[in-house]
Chains A and B, each alone.
Chain A
Amino acid sequence: NAGVMQNPRHLVRRRGQEARLRCSPMKGHSHVYWYRQLPEEGLKFMVYLQKENIIDESGMPKERFSAEFPKEGPSILRIQQVVRGDSAAYFCASSPPGRRTGYYEQYFGPGTRLTVT
């Protein structure tokens, strides 16, 4: 059973370009979470999605950031017009379906390291 997959693993973008980060959850998992990790810090929650639904995007910056989890295909975290401060590691996690999702561990992907030059 493959784990959570993220690609690309490393992404370099110039200021003003767009960054697209992809996440394929573990097989059978229908909940996806995105986190951002700045250097020397812990992970910060960004957004929680289920298929075709954004459940909680309270951790997402209001501008330039968007996320989706379509019916088919991976979840996408999109950052428009990137700035240097967007440089970070972006982790995706998934968990199995269930009413009490807070009781399940989240399985993390290897992350995408975004560098904005």
Chain B
Amino acid sequence: SQQGEEDPQALSIQEGENATMNCSYKTSINNLQWYRQNSGRGLVHLILIRSNEREKHSGRLRVTLDTSKKSSSLLITASRAADTASYFCATARDYKLSFGAGTTVTVRA
């Protein structure tokens, strides 16, 4: 079964609003990574949070990790139309990344 599962499956927000998506996983991990995929394109690495970290920021992105609950969240603040994409969490155990099915985010102008 998939290691990472994102929630919600789809999210529609107004430009300027914040978008929050969650990821749950089942087994122990080395780190958790978030990726963005624009329609029909490749994956862009957004942020990596190690298993001993609780929170990490990168620009308008904020990621949290709760290893006791085996969950992570990605917050995108002040969303823009260009943030419209699918977002995937990937759990890393050794070298293997396990991806969820993703959250599709639509930012309305």
Which of chain B's residues 39-71 have a Cβ closer than 8 Å to chain A? Answer: 40-45, 48, 50
* Contact status A42-B33, CB under 8 Å: no
Nearest A residue to B95, CB-CB: A101
A54 CB–B CB distance under 8 Å? no
**Stretch in contact with the other chain, from B13-21, B73-81, B98-106:** B98-106
Whether a CB of chain B sits under 8 angstroms from the CB of A107 is yes
Q: Is the interface of A mostly helix, strand, loop or mixed?
A: strand
Interface residue tally for chain A (C-beta within 8 Å) = 27
Cα distance, A28 to B47, chains bound together (Å): 21
A105 to chain B: which residues have CB within 8 Å? 33, 45, 48
Residue of B nearest to A58 (CB): B96
User: What's the tally of chain B residues with a CB closer than 8 Å to chain A?
Assistant: 27
B-side contacts of A40, CB under 8 Å: 101
**Contact string, A69-101, partner B, CB cutoff 8 A, digits 1/0?**
000000000000000000000010101000011
Distance, CA A102 to CA B90, complexed state (A): 12
**B99 near A31: Cβ-Cβ < 8 Å:** no
User: B1-30 vs A: 1/0 string, CB under 8 Å?
Assistant: 010100000000000000000000000001
- Report if A42-B4 is in contact (Cβ < 8 Å); known contacts: A101-B94, A111-B42: yes
Known: A42-B4, A43-B88, A110-B41. A102 touches B99 (CB 8 A): no
Closest chain A residue, CB of each to CB of B33: A105
Asked if B92 CB lies within 8 Å of chain A CBs, one says yes
12 A-B residue pairs with Cβ-Cβ distance under 8 Å, sorted by A, are A33-B97, A35-B97, A42-B101, A43-B97, A43-B99, A44-B99, A93-B97, A95-B95, A102-B93, A106-B45, A108-B43, A109-B42
Not counting A102-B92, A105-B33, A108-B42, a sample of 11 additional A-B residue pairs whose C-beta atoms are within 8 angstroms of each other reads A31-B95, A42-B100, A42-B102, A55-B95, A56-B95, A102-B96, A105-B45, A105-B48, A108-B35, A108-B44, A108-B45
| Chain B residues packing against A (C-beta within 8 Å) | 2, 4, 30-31, 33, 35, 40-45, 48, 50, 88, 90, 92-102
The interface of chain A, by Cβ under 8 A from chain B, is 31, 33, 35, 40-45, 48, 55-56, 91, 93, 95, 100-103, 105-111, 113
